[in-house]
Amino acid sequence: MPIRPLLLCCGLLAGCAGAGPARDARPAQETALPTSPSVSGTAFAVPADHPAAVAAAAAPAPPPALPQVAGLRLGRFAGFEALLVETPLATAAVALHGGHLLSYVPAGQQDALWLSPSAKPPPAAIRGGTPVVWPYFGRQDQTGDVPSHGFVRTVRWRLLAASRADDGTLSIELAPPDYADLGLQLRMTLRIGRTLEQTLATTNTGARPVAITQALHTYFHVSDVAQVRVRGLDGLTYLDKNDGYAAHPQAGDWALDDPRDPGRSDRIYRDAPGRYVLDDPGLGRRIALDVAGSRSLVVWNPGAAAAARMDDIGEAWRGFLCLEAANAGPDVVALAPGAIHRLTQTIRVLSATGGAGD
């Protein structure tokens, strides 16, 4: 199999959210990152129904029928039509546009997620929360004129099922449009309670093998990105987009003031273990992130200079850090016909010294 270079727009520097030149900080020529020697991603064509689905996302739509589940209703959050969850354990908001998790607030805590105060209305991609990047990350392995980060961020999703467990945890299952010519099916499940569990399940519905990349592109709310630390990365190797994807060793915790390139971060950590802790002394809390079905973690914040060129971030850049549960770069997922891959992240908000909800 010939090996193609991977053209990554890691993080949001390549216009992950919104559209238009004011937000597109992608360089004129992307740096090529060599792929895995054993697998390269599938180059996808834009599904025939995708342009119409994007156009429909900007138009009013009939409200979805909701099952009778205590703690679940349809409403609006930050201007977006959303499924609203409110239980004694937590509140959450999930936009139907993009199947986009906008907010998760465990009882007694602040929101775990950051949402841009300048987020754009549909059909633009939403800046903040947890964008769903699928079936390719950035434009990795793509050869045609395809949208950055895949086909599901800028279309309307549908609710498939909802239920509530005896312990009060509320589960919802959603799906983007099923593109008949894509050969893949995506389902997303959210379990909202004392912790938040989010799973992307990808099924190869076609007759040929397919290789995908993807991410749960979570923006975590922080007091000041310059004051937080990320544990669980010491000793790993990362590929730095800001250095032409050169490989560098991580020594100690991640911090924005890394002397090698301070003030910004656009890194893919390879062979990542799947357990990380975001330490935020300013908010007096830690966020534990556990990931399954992934061997890579993307850590992204554009820093002041790049954020100034993004009209849905601007001066708000200090308020978030993206820790992205991903299959990206050399971490490519190969799916035989009928095979299913699950990417799962579990978020727990902890006090600085105690457990969840303390």
- For tokens 């998760």, name the residue: 104
Residues that are catalytic = 217, 324
Q: Say if residues 221 and 104 touch (Cβ distance below 8 Å).
A: no
CA distance linking residue 280 with residue 227, whole number of Å: 7
Length of the chain: 358
CA distance linking residue 259 with residue 270, whole number of Å: 21
Number of H helices, E strands in the chain: 2, 23
Q: Say if residues 120 and 126 touch (Cβ distance below 8 Å).
A: yes
**Beta strands per DSSP E along 183-236:** 184-192, 196-204, 210-212, 214-221, 229-231
CA distance linking residue 193 with residue 120, whole number of Å: 29
The CA-CA-CA angle for residues 84, 87, 88, to 5°, reads 150
Interacting residues of 62 by C-beta distance below 8 A, sequence separation 6+: none
